Structure 1
Amino acid sequence: MAVILHQSNPSHSHGHAFGYEELENSTADESSSRQNYLGNTSVRAAFIHVIGDLFQSIGVFVAAIVIFFKPAYKIADPICTFFFSIFVLGSTITILKDVFRVLMEGTPKGMDFNSVKEVLLSIKGVKAMHSLQLWALTLNQPVLSVHIAIEENADAQIVLKEATEILRSKFTFHTTTIQVETFSEEMLDCSQCQDPKD
């Protein structure tokens, strides 16, 4: 059972690159390695459950042998139960953290807000950005939404294409929503355009 549950996911692609072969290949490789690393949470939980049952059975067997040969050592049973409960708690904490990260729409694991911001601001023609939001739709599907303010003479479509390509290649975002707008000085003082405070 444990061997069946520990298999990796097959890769999946529809070829959304629309002629950008290099981007699709790099993102597919990184995305599939990310999926293999994170896997399906339900399968991971089932795998840990199976392993936990195996350890619990071994613990009960060891405690039974100790009690059978030394009836005075009945304390072996609660000691084995205590160690098993510590093992179960330790092994489920990572799964719980991943599940809560998705449920609370937290920043995806391994993504840094400031790194994404720096990459967006490094794109030619981008003067500012605001309303940057990163969250995990699922463990394997990080999502981004952002407003990019560009210079008046910059081509919005070129900036949009470059931003989309760089975000998908560097950070393996599953979905990106980018709104391009012309920069105005008012954005610098706008309270809604500021970065979130910790």
Structure 2
Amino acid sequence: LLSIFIIWTMTAVLVYLAILRVIDRDYYIDADAMLITASCGVVFNMIIGCVLHRCGVDGHSHGDFSSSDIPAEQDFSPAIGHNDRVSIVGAGAGAAGTSVVQFPEMLKKKKPADNINIRAATMHILGDFVQSVGVLVGASLIKVNSEWKLADPICTFIFSLMVIATTVKVFRDVIWTLLETVPLDFAYKKLEADLRRIQGVRAIHDLHVWALTVGKVVINAHLAVDADHEFYEVQCEASRLLRFKYHAWYSTVQVEPYDRHVMAICKECSSLER
């Protein structure tokens, strides 16, 4: 977030200076000095960008477990591994495993999660790179014709807009994470529908989804299940659904017997029914 604010502050200062130049029209530009400085900026930012790209590709990633490595017909209970955290809360007996056949789309590969710090640093470098290119273009035009010195502020305006456009999405993702809201690309309604499809589930008491950071989604589900149905079986199926299809980094599944009187006065249930 600080990196983005630095970029925007720098951009605002450059735009302000460019506006003053457009208004005054009385300034001298050393095209040779601009060319040398801008060229160094472009080269250095390209080098740093390559280093960051290599860190993003080769760096250790958490939460990239894919269920495509699991046979579709294999039965098992939710396992807690290095990259997955599953919490099961509820009552009931039974040791029923479940199959992903009910949700075949679980077998799709998960996209590697973005690292928000790498993205922010990349946007910072990209902003510097774009500004350097803008200075380089303006200096080249002024070098060709000294009367074209207005090209300097014009290039500043154009490339400043490009910098803002490239950083807005990262800023939005950071704010959404700080507010602990549902990620914009998360299919909340589809998750709710999938949970209701699980055999034995009569209703959903509450369902909470938020992101700890980009690519690390936390899901808490509270399900009401038929009293004569195996609770553990429902927990297993729901946990697998959250882990494999929705790639929950941490999930909690709580179940309890369905009680229509309780459901009738539950405010959380009423909001989910709408």
Could you say which TM-score interval applies, normalised by the shorter chain? 0.7 to 0.9
CA distance in 2, matches of 1:64, 1:15: 51
Instruction: Return the index of the structure with the highest Cα Rg.
Output: 2
Q: Which has the higher contact order (CA 8 A, sep 6+)?
A: 2
Where in structure 2 are the equivalents of 1:17-96 lying within 5 Å?
A: 30-31=109-110, 33-35=111-113, 39-96=114-171
* Aligned 1:87-166 pairs, distance under 5 A: 87-166=162-241
Distance change >3 Å, CA 87–CA 142, structure 1 → 2: same
Deviations 1:160-193 (A, max 9, x none): 1111012211111111111111111120343232
Distance of 1:45 and 1:79 partners within structure 2: 27
Shift of 1:196: 5.6
Distance 1:156 1:40 in 2: 37
> TM-score, normalised to structure 1's length?
0.83
The AA in structure 1 aligned to 2:199 is: K
CA distance in 1, matches of 2:235, 2:273: 27
Contact 1:102 1:138 in 2 (8 A): yes
SS in 2 for 1:83: helix
User: Is the 2:201–2:225 contact (alpha carbons within 8 Å) kept by the matching residues of 1?
Assistant: yes
Return 5+ residue gaps in structure 1 as ranges: none
Q: CA deviation at 1:15?
A: 6.6
Could you report, residue by residue, the CA deviation over 1:17-44 in whole angstroms, capped at 9, with x for unpaired residues? 99x9x98xx989845x231xxx211211
Partner AA of 1:171 in structure 2: Y
Q: Distance in 2 between matches of 1:197 and 1:129?
A: 9
Report if aligned partners of 2:116, 2:213 keep a CA contact under 8 Å in 1.
no
Q: Contact conserved, 1:164 with 1:176, CA < 8 A, in 2?
A: yes
Partner of 1:192: 268
* CA distance in structure 2 between the aligned counterparts of 1:11 and 1:30, rounded to whole angstroms: 15
Mapped contact 2:84–2:243 kept (Cα < 8 A): no
Instruction: Find the aligned partners of 2:269 and 2:226 in 1 and give their Cα distance.
Output: 17
Distance 2:108 2:230 in 1: 30
Q: Percent identity?
A: 33
- Given the alignment of the two structures, is residue 10 of structure 1 paired with residue 56 of structure 2, yes or no? no
Assess, with a 3 A threshold, how the Cα gap between structure 1 residues 16 and 136 changes in structure 2: closer, same or farther. closer
Check if 1:177 corresponds to 2:245: no
Distance in 1, matches of 2:197 and 2:118, equals: 40
Residue identity opposite 2:51 in structure 1: I
1: CA distance between counterparts of 2:169 and 2:252?
30
**Unaligned segments of structure 2, at least 5 residues:** 1-47, 63-80, 87-96
Contact kept, 8 Å, 1:130 with 1:195, in 2: the verdict is: no
Residue identity opposite 2:232 in structure 1: Q
Whether the aligned pair in 1 keeps the contact of 2:84 and 2:249 (CA below 8 Å) is: no
Q: 1:29 and 1:174, CA in 2 relative to 1: closer, same or farther beyond 3 A?
A: farther
Amino acid corresponding to residue 53 of structure 2 in structure 1: H
